[in-house]
Amino acid sequence: MAGNIELLGSVLAAAKAENRAALVGYLPAGFPTVDDGVRAVTAMLDGGCDVVEVGLPHSDPVLDGPVIQTADDIALRGGVRIADVIRTVREAHEITGAPVLCMTYWNPVDHYGVERFAADLAAAGGAGCILPDLPVEESEVWRKAAEQHGLATVFVVAPSSRDERLAKITAAGSGFVYAASLMGVTGTRESVGDEAKDLVRRTRAVTSLPVCVGLGVSNAVQAAEVAQFADGVIVGSAFVKRLLEAPDLESGLAAVRTLAGELAEGVRQRA
């Protein structure tokens, strides 16, 4: 079975046709449990997310903040395996029909087997993979397997990426470009917003792929702000936080669904 890169493309194109940004949600698989994680991802899509990224929990998630690290830890303590990640992708896609990607560090994929991982993800109806720590120069083996199985390969760019580097990264990628901003780390939110806006502008200058921004967005106002200049708004920690802070699972699922609805309204406020 081929993956769903075409579905991903059509969903992003449909959002653009509606003159809005797409809403992309993220949750790690196995959190709070494998079964409940499937329900949480489904709730995000039911609430208004266009696309979801299912995270493969990692013991050393160097690019993730404390909220996602906490969720990863819960999933790993629960014994989550790659088969559970694949199952989460499959069930979320089968239940909702939406494009579902896997976001993972490279080491687990390499260990599992590149061809095997691509084949299993595609067979589950996955749309592609986001590989934040895989250098483009070392990605050919993965990209060949992904292309063969109809999967997108999404690379991450950052404000520090020079223009020639952006051209190299985006030429190798497919599906969309993940533009990572450093919100909350450098300067005020306003200046970081400008940094993200500039990154999107520079990225668009070298590719026709949609550019989606992961910016620490946590509410509808911030989603609307990013939607003014990006093709997609990526939200992860805010969803995880809703589940972590909920007194019980049902409250957590309701909170996730509500947040997705609020963010979906936000991305539709494009001028």
> Catalytic site residues?
53, 64
DSSP character string of the chain: ----HHHHHHHHHHHHHTTS-EEEEEEETTSS-HHHHHHHHHHHHHHT-SEEEEE---S--TTS-HHHHHHHHHHHHTT--HHHHHHHHHHHHHHH---EEEE--HHHHHHH-HHHHHHHHHHTT--EEE-TT--GGG-HHHHHHHHHTT-EEE-EE-TT--HHHHHHHHHH--S-EEEE--TTTSS-HHHHHHHHHHHHHHHHTT--S-EEEES---SHHHHHHHHTT-SEEEE-HHHHHHHHH-SSHHHHHHHHHHHHHHHHHHHT---
CB 106 within 8 A of CB 134: yes
φ/ψ bin of 30: left (φ > 0), alpha (ψ from -120 to 50), beta (otherwise) = left
Q: Count other C-beta atoms under 10 Å from residue 51's C-beta.
A: 27
